[in-house]
Structure 1
Amino acid sequence: MADNDPFADPFGVGLDGVQSLEAFARACDRLRAGRSYTVLGKAARPRLLPPATLSDLLRAKSTPTRDTMITFLIACGLDEAAQRPWLAAWERVATAHQPRPVGAVRVREARPRLLGVHAAIQLPGTAEELPPYVPRDLDADLRADLTAAAAQGGFVLLLGGSSVGKTRALYEAVRAELPEWWLLHPTDTPTADAHAAAPTPRTVMWLDELQRYLNHRTGLPAGALRQLITAGTVVVATLWPDEYHIRIARPSVGQPDPYANDRDLLGFAQLIEVPETFSRAERRRGETLAGTDQRIRIALDTTDAGFTQVVAAGPALIRRWEHAPDDDCYGKAVITAVLDAHRVGAHQPATNDFLQAAAPAYLTPAQQANAPRDWLDRGLAYATTPVHRATACLTPVPASMGLIAGYTTSDYLRQHAQRTCRTAALPEPVWQALIAHHHHPDDTARLFDNARRRGQPNHAIALYLRADATPRNSFGRALIAAGIDLLAEQGRIDALRDLAATGNQLAVDRLAGLLAEQGCLDELRDLATTGNGFAVDRLVDLLAEQGHIDEALQALRNHAATGDWHAAGRLADLLAEQGRIDELRDLATTGRWTAAERLARLLAEQGRIDELRDLAATGNEFAVERLAGLLAEQGRLDEALQALRNHAATGNEFAAARLVDLLAEQGRLDEALQALRSLAATGNEFAVERLAGLLAEQGRLDEALQALRDLAATGNGPAAARLVDLLAEQGRLDELRDLAATGNEFAAERLARLLAEQGRIDELRDLAATSDWHAAERLARLLAEQGRLDEALQALRDLAATGNGPAAARLVDLLAEQGRLDELRDEVTAGTPFAVEGLRRLEQAG
């Protein structure tokens, strides 16, 4: 048994075979080696080990507690390392009655290769599947986190690139700390969800390559993970850094948020980063093991790649792909087709039909003309040949016995290609092959989004229209909207008509816009009869432009009568524009606030103060404000103030706000503050915020800040924003940092602005690396202002590559501002968000 095996049994008692309480008691009796109860009791001091407890333990009367077992083992002279196999056997016996999850195995029995540990290179004389584990610097933290998670449930996530040793380190840590727990390795997201609905005790859920579960069409709900943790499950997972940063990045204001669930889920994680290369200490540990396995010696002696990558044959895979002999050009073409397909969103196995159509795009005309009949079979044979008997560039995925569904590629090779081929254009035949032969619904949304972002609108539309027939959950709402927008941009009115006919309201909206632009009044009338508010809007605009005011008003009346609040608002606007005050008054009496606001404005403009007073008496907030304003303009200030006081006393916040503003405008600050204090005492949020503002204006900052803190703690957004403004104005950076760390967007923006104003580039860079888009934007702007344009662009590229949308937008803007057309085209090819639009603007301007 290996020296570093946590299940070694130096006393030769045979613990591996212990499964029952009786067998465990016999093993303990052999361990005590004839020592009397008295001798053992003395050896255990200062811990207590009473004879009765020993009797129960050694005669199998009851299962001992963990603390009793540790005391007994100490009395028998075992140190912490020697106690581990005994405690593992005790745990196995103590939990034998607990249910076993379907498909689970004991952690100590789990096979590392089946859990995702990369195959290792095989050399003559190496009998073991994997070389000995070289302890990592992160092991102590990892095992401490696992121990803490075992106590109350938890989620431990290892973050690192491909083949850096994440999965092996996780396997060794879980095996060392939780050997007798059940290990469940879900095949897919629904399996994980099912276990979350009925969790079992002392269970480790293994989610290697977490993105596979997150990318499932239903996603892995954050709520399911919360259930698992609450039930005491230890969830462990691995993830690539780019996948992590894409998912935690917050979208800019107004942009879709497709990763909201993933961001919440990842927020539960205890994160441990795994470096790309071994540290000096790790290499020293490797040297002590190099004599036991030649693979470790080779990996340590290789200077152009990391230790773990060499062991997993990663660099050899790259060489096999990039430097394939001329005779194996078909193999290289097949591998490239799979890598490129994945690069643009095709994550499911590449089929033979797809490869047959796509691979020729990577061959020269001469290679195509001279290709043998079995060129694809030859190419696949080359691509699927294992390197160093460890892994191959392509791996077949079974459909059933003897049948291949398709091929996937090594994640190390895929990550390399993603980096080196980022700006390489996908050949036209490959796009066509993806549309024709890659029909998995889980990939359609990604392919569509990539085609759209890479300046391929026709391919994007083809993918979108194909996806419309698949289950709706294969397409996120944001992408459904993007597809319809694309159809409208390209003037595909027939496709929009077809989608609108299915009841797709977004399609109706965009169709209405196109019909209005083209002056198609009759068809727009028909579309408006469906009740679509956008169609009604466009119809009314077109009718008004053509002078058909009565028809426009009647159309709005009809839709307002159905309860359409937007149509009622438009009706009020149009009546006000036409000065039809009686009809506006009738509409206001039905409770339409837009009509009430327009009516109050018209009455004020016409100086009809009595009618305004009557309208204010009905509780119309707009009339109250207009009445007070009109009275103040006429110099009747006391009357205006009294009117506002009367309405404020009824709980009318609108009147209260106007009362305070008017008092402040007149310089009557003490009265304004007194009014605000009275309202604030009732819990009025407006009053607290306005009180803080006035206090700050008078230099009473501590009072103002406390008032804002109290209100912000209740979730009041405006108060939170004002608090941030006030902290920023006072230069209180530490408090801003604390607020920003809680996810406060106002604080994050102001903190980034302050750091930029103070030229603190390193701090901005650190913040930007956490996907803080405010910091990313300020960092780029500051570097550009200092003439460090290339640094600014590189910082933005690095952030955009992690999925940071705002950084991508700023990168595109900066390239466009500098007129760097070729680089902007590269970003389009790379699929950088907003690059297509930026390129279009620049080309139009030029």
Structure 2
Amino acid sequence: MSSEYYPSFSLEGKADHSGRMSQQGQGYQFNIDQVFIASGQNQVSTWAAQYESWPLVRELDPLEFGVHRAPINQGNAVPPYVTRDVDSEVKIKLQQVCKSGGLVLLIGDSTAGKTRIVYETLQEIAPTKRLFRPFDKSDLRASIVTIISNRKESLVWLDDLEQYLGPTGLTSPLVAYLKRAGVAIAATIRGEQYQRFIQLAPDHVHDNLEQRSDFQRILDLGQSAIVRRRWSEAELQRAAKSKDVRVIEAVQHSELFGIAEYLAAGPRLLDEWSVAWGAEMNPRGASLIATAVDFARAGISAPIPRALLVELHELYLEEAGGALLRPEGLEQAFSWATRRRSGVASPLIPQNNGQSYRAFDYLVDARMRNDQEKPIPELLWTRAIGLAETNNGLIGVASAARRHELINVEKMSWERLSQSGDPLGAMRLGTLHENLGEHDLAFKWYEKAVELGNPDGFTRIGLIHEGQHDSSIAENFYRKAAEAGNAHGMNHLALLLRKQGDIDQSERWYRMAVEAKRGEKSPLDVSMNLASLLAETNRLEEAESIYRKAVDSGEDEALNGLGYLLERSGRRSEALDLWRQAVDKGVANAAANLALDAEERNKLREAREWWQKAIELGSESAVLRLAINLDKSGGSRRKEAKKFFDEAINLEVDGSAYSYAVFYSRQGLYEDAVTWARKSVELREEKSQGLLASILDKIPGSEDEAALWWRQVAEGGDTESQVRLGELLAEANEFEEAVRWLTPAAEGGDVIAACTLGWVYSCLRDRPKAEANYRAAADAGHAHAACNHGSLLMAFGETEAALERFREAYFSGHAHVSEDIEKIYRSTGRGREAAEWLRRSKTGLPNPKGKNIKKGKNKRRKRR
């Protein structure tokens, strides 16, 4: 200190903990602004003394900051952050200390997420501050000068605060001094360490401030926030929306463990378990863990009795090497396997005062994720079934057996459940046999389920029969289920009646199903089916009301149905908006409807993008639709189309064999087309027989087989097949048989059938019937019928009437009749008209009045 009044001087000294400077008596008065006190043995670490070497907060990787590593996913060891309830509190407190100095301490269990909260908060509020994280106490003490000199631009980070506490490290006077100096400190401490320090204070701490522990004084000087190990319901809901599979998996185990705890402790415990199998390590303990893990893999969710672990762990120990590993004793093994590592996590978690145990869930998940998952010993499956019977766990064992493809174990589990009187066991056995194609056994178990009180067994039997195209038998079983009050049966009965055209009865059962499901969240979506029926029968107001109620209640599929209804009502822009909203919520059919809309506007590229989106959202039928789209695009797209047709075939998408046959037929590859058309017939796909007939029609030498298929389809009432069969029979001079097939079609207004029938009757020399059919077809604009009628009239010498028909044929598109007209005029001495038609025969057709057959544009039905 120096001035013109006071001489300068310096003070030096050594102290282990603190120093004091004071003046007694008379002399110069002096004030101390800053005093730096350190041990005489101080050795400043090079990097700590260099402020410029401290990293900026924004430059830090979470792992560098101290965040625990999670299991690697797509190259990332740290999952996306999930907002915690305490975040806003921590943010406010850290903002305060970053501005004016002080300490913020986060208290919580190990792996509760304390470090991650601080990291994410600092990234937001102080990305440009330099972070100092001392290595130990001496590092902290040695860097005080540098910290204070750069207090505005830096922040001290003390993860696991207990490491820095003590006379040679952080003390309450030092915290107070740093706070006054404006230094910001962020710190964490584990709950158990916090409790240990708190308990050092005497019981009467509030009565005598002098006896408070130094740690208590530090707490009083700073601000604290509690981070809970178990996440709140709001936090779990946010975590459940994460796109990271690790976080989703952790949520599934949140009943016992915190999300951060599960993600952080899991990899460490897995590594420790993996190492423990070594000689003279903890192979017996590792075997106990493996036994508990395999019970969980076998579907047992209840704790495993100690006796079972002791009995079965020898199987795993022997497989690993047995006595050669020099395994530890049983009590030592249990002690090692149950020792708490972080939070409440340990490889084996004791239950019921140590009478039973369960494996840490992460170890189970890790074993199940392994592509080369080891099989579970047969003896353990037997014990698992026995344990499940006493713990209501047979469903879990059966489901696990299915995953391991152990049908006998699955059957045994469901049979035991059924024997206990639970109809679910019988239902699941029915489904198992149905999937194996063993329908008689499936019927047996579905009927057993009905006996045990579940009438849905009738519905399942009905579905099998409907799949076999036995509609009348299916209806009978649906009706039994419906009359027993089963909403599933009511729904399928209504669907079947709707297909059969019985709209009134269909609506009745839909309404009864809706009533039966009132108050339930039904996956059948019966109300949607009712709304669809109402929309089809033009009761749009009620249909719209049902859809809107469903939308308001959060039913995303209702957005799609409402869009379909609005599109039918001419409100296309509203429909498109609703479909886009539905796509954003993951509704695949909405993407399909947007694709169909684009195709109707001939926007094939846009349609492809929507089909791709539908596929992403899980629609298998969209795979086939995309293949068809690519096929229509032609050229190089056909190679890509083939890939999607193959995928649709592998997925067994309805109609894929039919469409594949069309794909090959369009390219003239008729042998391949016939192969897939036959497959389509075998699968009973709609219109498959007609397709096979039409392809065979194009292959020389296959006319007879084509006729057989045309006949089969025609007998089913298909007009197009009846017409084609009539044509083939006429060509074969089987006129009477041809009349039989052509007449119903002609009477129904089919102009091709009428024209062909006119020709057949002319061959049969039945002029009245021939003329009647020609006239009907010609008057409907069929050029060939007009031409044929003209020839018939000429044969009977009715020249003027013939000329009128020929002129109609010409203007309808038959250019060749101009020559016939010219000859008629010339032969009758009408030279001027003959010259005119000679000219026309050379110049071609004028703009035709119309087309031979007027076809309406068929809109594809939207996916509701």
If the length of structure 2 is used for normalisation, what is the TM-score?
0.33
If the length of structure 1 is used for normalisation, what is the TM-score?
0.33
Query: Does 1 or 2 have the higher relative contact order (CA < 8 Å, sep 6+)?
Result: 1
